[in-house]
Structure 1
Amino acid sequence: MMFATNRIKLRKMTEQDIAVYHKWRNTIGVMESTSPALDIYSMEETGSFVQHVILGSTHSKTYFIMDSASDQPIGITSLISIDFKNRNAELIIDIGEPDYWGKGYGQEALGLLLRYAFMELNLHRISLRVFDFNTRALKLYEKLGFQQEGMSREALFRNGAWHHIIHMGLLQSEYSE
C-alpha cells in the first residue's frame, strides 16, 4: 500500500476526526513549535476550519497519521496550496501525540507524503516553513533533502523572544526515496 509503512498508515481526514484534531489544535505543547497562532479554539471554530479549509479545499490533501498496531491517530500531515499548473505545494506536519515524538514517526509520514507528491502527483517542488528553534524538525527536513531557501527574520514572537521562520524547499530532481 502506498500510504503505509510497518508502523504507520496515512488516511484521508474526515469529519469524524474533528474532535481529535480539536484536542491537538488546543494543546499548546503540540502547536508551539509549528503554529504561528497559539489561540484556543472552540469546537465550533475547529469544525468550521476542518469543513471549509481542510475538507472543502481542492488545493490541499490532508491525511491523519495512524499507528498501524493500535489504529490510533497520532498526527496530521498535509500538502496545502497545491498549484497544479506550476507543480508545487507546501508541506505541513504535526505529531499530535507527545508519546510519539522523537521516534521517527514524522520521518516515516513525510516519506510517504513526499513519495505521493513527487511520484503520483508529479509535483516539481515542495516547500515548507519551520521555526528556527524547532531543531528536531530542521534536522529531519535536512535529512530528507530539503534545502534552506531563505528566512523571514524575527517574524515570530514566542516565549518572550523574536524568532526567524526558515523557508525550505525540495525539488523533484533532488528527491530520493
Structure 2
Amino acid sequence: MTPAVLTGALVRLRELREEDLDRLVAWWNDPATAVRQVTGPAHPRPAAEVAAMFWTWSQNAGCNLGLSVVTRDEGELVGHVTLYGADPKDRCATLAVLVGAPHQGRGLGTDAVRTLVDHGFTELGLHRIELTVNGDNAPALAAYRRAGFTEEGRRREAVFRHGRWHDHVQMGILDREHRERPERR
C-alpha cells in the first residue's frame, strides 16, 4: 500500500489530482520542458491524450507508481514522477520524471527522484531502477548521478533534434548501491 504522501527534503510526492492536469499537459507540450525531458518525439499532442497518459501512469497498482511532485512547504505543483514496468520475477522498474521548466535547476527533480527511488527499493521491493535520458541534457545527467544512478550504456546518435544527432544514455541503480549511499546511513 502506498502512503498518501512521500516526503523528501524539498518535495512531497502525492496522488495525481484533476487540478494538476492543466499544468502537466502544458509542460508536456512546452518545448522548453519536453525537448530536454522527453526521450521520444517532442511535438505537441492533444491535451486530452496527454491527460489520459498521466492518468494511466498514475493508477498506482502493484509496483507501478505515478505521483505528482509538489514543493514540500507550499504544495506548489512542479512535476510528475513515475516508476513503471516492474514484474514480480525481475523486480526492475523504469523511472520517468517531468519537471516543469519554471521549476528546473532548484534541486526539486533530484529530490523527487531520490524520494521515489528510496520508496521503490524500501517499500516496493525493487532490485533495479533504470532510465533513459537524452545525452545532451547535462542537468538531468548530473541530477541522476547525484541520486545514485550510474551510466550503463549509450545509444550513440539515436535521436535527431534541432538538426543534430544526440545520444540516448541508459542509467541504472541497484538496491545494494542505494543502501550503500552515504546519505542512507
Structure 1 residues not aligned, in runs of 5+: none
**Pick aligned residue for 1:43 from 43, 47, 50:** 47
Structure 2 residues not aligned, in runs of 5+: none
- Secondary structure of the equivalent of 2:97? strand
| Counterparts of residues 82-121 of structure 1 (less than 5 Å) | 82-96=86-100, 98-121=101-124
The equivalent of 2:158 in structure 1 is 155
Q: Give the Cα–Cα distance (whole angstroms) in 2 for the partners of residues 132 and 31 of structure 1.
A: 14
Q: Give the Cα–Cα distance (whole angstroms) in 2 for the partners of residues 86 and 6 of structure 1.
A: 30
The equivalent of 1:132 in structure 2 is 135
Q: Assess, with a 3 A threshold, how the Cα gap between structure 1 residues 55 and 137 changes in structure 2: closer, same or farther.
A: closer
Q: How many correspondences in the alignment?
A: 175
Q: Is the 1:15–1:50 contact (alpha carbons within 8 Å) kept by the matching residues of 2?
A: no
Give CA deviations for 1:122-177 in whole Å, capped at 9, x if unaligned: 10000011111011111122222211111222110111100110101111011123
| Counterparts of residues 23-42 of structure 1 (less than 5 Å) | 23-35=26-38, 36-42=40-46
* Segments ≥4 residues shifted beyond 6 Å: none
**What's the offset of the Cα at 1:16?**
3.8
**What's the offset of the Cα at 1:6?**
4.7
Q: TM-score, normalised by structure 1?
A: 0.89
Give CA deviations for 1:82-137 in whole Å, capped at 9, x if unaligned: 223211101111111x3321111111111110110111111000001111101111
Q: Give the Cα–Cα distance (whole angstroms) in 1 for the partners of residues 58 and 11 of structure 2.
A: 22
The equivalent of 1:171 in structure 2 is 174
Q: Is the 2:6–2:13 contact (alpha carbons within 8 Å) kept by the matching residues of 1?
A: yes
Report the aligned-residue RMSD: 1.9
- Secondary structure of the equivalent of 1:94? strand
Q: TM-score, normalised by structure 2?
A: 0.86
The equivalent of 1:65 in structure 2 is 69
Q: Give the Cα–Cα distance (whole angstroms) in 1 for the partners of residues 176 and 9 of structure 2.
A: 27
**What's the offset of the Cα at 1:17?**
2.5
Amino acid at match of 1:77: V
Amino acid at match of 1:146: F
Q: Give the Cα–Cα distance (whole angstroms) in 1 for the partners of residues 25 and 165 of structure 2.
A: 27
